[in-house]
Structure 1
């Protein structure tokens, strides 16, 4: 089956003759569910390809994709078949036993990356927790560091657990959750002098820098791509010092950057890297990968009850194989270039509001001028009114992360909606 045929099948509106369900009751929802999210005022109930429908039957073009997660869009035939097949076969047994689907997925990742070993979990935060634990054990047992320090970047985002919000270089995510986990230090992103200074200053007594944890492109921090020269110098420093280089690929991995892995855009290989989001195409799964030399975990030192279960691994493997078989990464490159060119044209029409367009592949950010009252949320709300779903990446950056199967026509439709949204938002700003 060709890529074009798959896209055509995936974008056909499902159940087009079915009436919308009973209107959604937000008040009842808010009474039952903790208010940990600031939600946009729509309730989505079904999807196909790059489109979703709310409980009133309104159609939206989805350029959020579950926040860079729905790799193959919604109700993709490959995933529908994989989900059906695996749930009828075996869905969970725990890691007390060998799981063939887990081994197959791990081997696929190894064959298509710089990794030698894989650990499976359920989310990006868990994958980053595993990387942090592995780095700490390596520091103690191989580098002989009593008090290891991990460097991370300002404006980074690594998850919501206590260790990963501490690793996250944004104070807003840490407020009220202290005492935080010790052993982290923040440096400016893309600043090699800051890295060199920190390594020198923190090497005192029992303390030493053991690892550097970075995103190849900062997602939540404003869609900021890594600088090639910076990362290549960083790799050299780590080679010379024995410091582990860890990449958080939770958002940029699995083809979203225009390469299968984000690090391929930088010309360097990490010692450890993490994945989640797009790995399962929307089915929860996370993974922490490492080179063989730093795989120091022993049985009982780290685990996950649900991690690597047959269901998640079976579906994830179908997503991975489809990415390669249907050359979807090439579509990411082409549609990403089309999207950036279109956004730059819009930026030229609204220079008083838009300062920059940046990104890789199909993770792109449109940054608003610092001195305008217009916010990313304003633009997102205006886009929703035009039938387009977008997501902020901070108060002044609008993020575009559609499914990787998005078509040329859908990118054009999204650009038209953004243009109309800016006209609306501009008038109201």
Structure 2
């Protein structure tokens, strides 16, 4: 199929093939409106929700009203290198929320950004700055120890047997040169980044290295530091990976009257990144038991934890942070998507004061981040979430329980079609069975091409006015992420549409799935 579009023509052709080439002209609540052939608006129930960006729904009236007021008031967007009191307000409110949910008094210092991927990269950049400064301080102390040992050697202190072996029979200066060479080589090794299998942390040059999906990551693997992936819910493998990646450097000390070698742990672990609920990996929540082990292992290794709450945070799972429900504390938290109230491009990296490096404030910046418009929208969004003692968090949990119950009914009635339903709150997934061995040539080919979930989404859109998408790295899992405002009637509508989809798949009717 050809297309005349100049903007992303390949993507447009794929959307047309799968029945997803739709232009939406208006949005409100959980509804997107497309234009029909007769010019009338056709409402579509949106369960994609901007991949988690619309916890308050499309164009929440209070957020929209504030945005209009701010634009009318001509609040500055570009006022870099000046004071930003509205950003300070957001940072204080986020600290209050984190203190309540985690019990950690903090404080967390805020680095603002425009997107989740950018905020992830800011977290990794900061963690690497912290690691590098610690390594440099260690090497400086080792340099001082070498000078002390040199003075001792001049005063007649012999070299220990181990020191003699490293010096290869030479004198103290040969030993010092060998120690320096070993340390330089080990210090120049790249930092170690860890993430979980199935992770998704963005698609920028740095963040794409932290995204597990090989199709997304590998074309760009030469551009930035690689990441080591470990399976979720497997603390033993995490501990083994950390142990394997550890390195030591050498110092010198006077021991028993002789100059001897001393080993020091080299700070090499940059960070472990994880999502408390893996979004693009198939909507898979981590367990509290695993979180406890991660916390213990990383604390012992002094490996900072970056908690990516871009999709799971902002109340979507029934608590402000999905990680707080499983007892996971981060050295860094990353928030985005719904932080902008579904309108503004807003994101933030929160850095625990115990790791914060003031130098970072001059080493990192972003043109559009921290402006008055986005931070005032973020502040209003936090106000709405926190109102009435967190009523919206409770509603997210209640709405999620209702949807999960109905999805579980679909699974139970169509076990030949649905593998599983899972998730927390309003971050849910329905996993379809693979159809690679289907008697239907259409279903067989769709499944083998990895687009069955997208074809299912196209069918739901065109036959039932329901908008869902599969998760990016688990393409048979349909994501369901509505706003807290979703009604019983819309939930019932979604259930009916999903049941109808399952009937089509049970009948192995590939032609009908594609609307032919």
TM-score normalized with structure 1 length: 0.89
- Provide Cα deviations, 1:164-197, integer angstroms capped at 9, x if missing partner: 0111122110243241312521111221011011
Matches within 5 A, 1:242-321: 242-282=302-342, 283-298=344-359, 299-321=361-383
Counterpart of 1:85? 69
Name which of structure 1's ranges 227-236 and 174-183 shifts more when overlaid on structure 2: 174-183
How far the C-alpha of 1:301 sits from its partner, in A, is: 0.8
Find 2:275's aligned residue among 197, 215, 229.
Answer: 215
Instruction: Decide whether aligned partners of structure 1 residues 86 and 262 sit closer, same or farther in structure 2, where only a CA change above 3 A counts.
Output: same
Find 2:207's aligned residue among 145, 148, 164.
Answer: 164
Runs of 5+ unmatched residues, structure 1: 1-25
- SS of match in other structure, 1:130: helix
- SS of match in other structure, 1:395: strand
Counterpart of 1:102? 87
Find 2:194's aligned residue among 143, 147, 151.
Answer: 151
* CA distance in 1 between partners of 2:267 and 2:69 (Å): 51
Counterpart of 1:42? 22
Counterpart of 1:191? 234
* CA distance in 2 between partners of 1:33 and 1:376 (Å): 21
- Provide Cα deviations, 1:273-292, integer angstroms capped at 9, x if missing partner: 10111111222111101111
Counterpart of 2:158? none
- Provide Cα deviations, 1:48-71, integer angstroms capped at 9, x if missing partner: 111111022211111011111112
Is contact 1:379–1:422 with CA below 8 Å preserved after alignment?
no
Find 2:385's aligned residue among 298, 301, 323.
Answer: 323
Find 1:174's aligned residue among 212, 217, 221.
Answer: 217
- SS of match in other structure, 1:294: coil
Is contact 2:3–2:9 with CA below 8 Å preserved after alignment?
no
Find 2:433's aligned residue among 369, 390, 396.
Answer: 369
How far the C-alpha of 1:239 sits from its partner, in A, is: 2.1
Counterpart of 2:412? 348
How far the C-alpha of 1:236 sits from its partner, in A, is: 1.3
* CA distance in 2 between partners of 1:91 and 1:61 (Å): 36
- Provide Cα deviations, 1:13-34, integer angstroms capped at 9, x if missing partner: xxxxxxxxxxxxx955x22446
TM-score normalized with structure 2 length: 0.75
Name which of structure 1's ranges 94-103 and 64-73 shifts more when overlaid on structure 2: 94-103
* CA distance in 2 between partners of 1:271 and 1:32 (Å): 40
* CA distance in 1 between partners of 2:26 and 2:501 (Å): 24
* CA distance in 1 between partners of 2:76 and 2:456 (Å): 41
* CA distance in 2 between partners of 1:91 and 1:390 (Å): 37
Is contact 1:386–1:421 with CA below 8 Å preserved after alignment?
no
- Provide Cα deviations, 1:73-92, integer angstroms capped at 9, x if missing partner: 12211111110121123041
- SS of match in other structure, 1:189: coil
Runs of 5+ unmatched residues, structure 2: 100-106, 139-186, 249-265, 437-443, 511-516
Greater share of helix: 2
- SS of match in other structure, 1:300: helix
Is contact 1:51–1:59 with CA below 8 Å preserved after alignment?
yes
Name which of structure 1's ranges 81-90 and 142-151 shifts more when overlaid on structure 2: 142-151
Counterpart of 1:124? 116
Counterpart of 1:22? none
Is contact 1:382–1:424 with CA below 8 Å preserved after alignment?
no
Counterpart of 1:113? 98
How far the C-alpha of 1:248 sits from its partner, in A, is: 0.8
Is contact 2:276–2:307 with CA below 8 Å preserved after alignment?
yes
- Provide Cα deviations, 1:127-158, integer angstroms capped at 9, x if missing partner: 00000001101111135584421111111111
Is contact 1:110–1:116 with CA below 8 Å preserved after alignment?
yes
Name which of structure 1's ranges 417-426 and 313-322 shifts more when overlaid on structure 2: 417-426
Q: Rg: which structure is higher? A: 2
Is contact 2:209–2:224 with CA below 8 Å preserved after alignment?
yes
How far the C-alpha of 1:310 sits from its partner, in A, is: 0.7
